[in-house]
Amino acid sequence: RKEVEQDPGPFNVPEGATVAFNCTYSNSASQSFFWYRQDCRKEPKLLMSVYSSGNEDGRFTAQLNRASQYISLLIRDSKLSDSATYLCVVNGEGTGFQKLVFGTGTRLLVSP
């Protein structure tokens, strides 16, 4: 089983739609969770961290479910500029340095 699994998509949605992505992780000891955004052929950039209580940043809402070991990202009122690949990122196993494990990404395409 992969450490971090995401549906690769693509998710095709019209402008204004609400879309949600899920991501599952295998390491129950993971403490840090993030969503990164990556535009085509560009570097990943942090979209938001994911906290146990859930958190919201404008049109974006992230949730963490530790019991089921998944995190989610909800995007409301989708914009054309939201078209990108969204990477689920979780800190991995080991003592000391906790390396980040990146999912393969979910591609979102928002159309007019």
Partner 1 sequence: DADVTQTPRNRITKTGKRIMLECSQTKGHDRMYWYRQDPGLGLRLIYYSFDVKDINKGEISDGYSVSRQAQAKFSLSLESAIPNQTALYFCATSARLAVGDEQFFGPGTRLTVL
Q: How far is the CB of 32 from partner 1 (least distance, A)?
A: 5
* Nearest CB to partner 1, comparing residues 72 and 104: 104
* Contact residues for partner 1, defined by CB under 8 A: 4, 8, 31-32, 34, 41-46, 49, 87, 91, 97-100, 102-105
* Nearest CB to partner 1, comparing residues 17 and 69: 69
Q: How far is the CB of 112 from partner 1 (least distance, A)?
A: 27
* Nearest CB to partner 1, comparing residues 42 and 79: 42
Long-range CB contacts (within 8 A, 24+) of 85-88: 85/37, 85/38, 85/39, 85/40, 86/21, 86/35, 86/36, 86/37, 86/38, 86/47, 87/6, 87/35, 87/36, 87/37, 87/38, 87/44, 88/4, 88/6, 88/21, 88/23, 88/25, 88/33, 88/34, 88/35
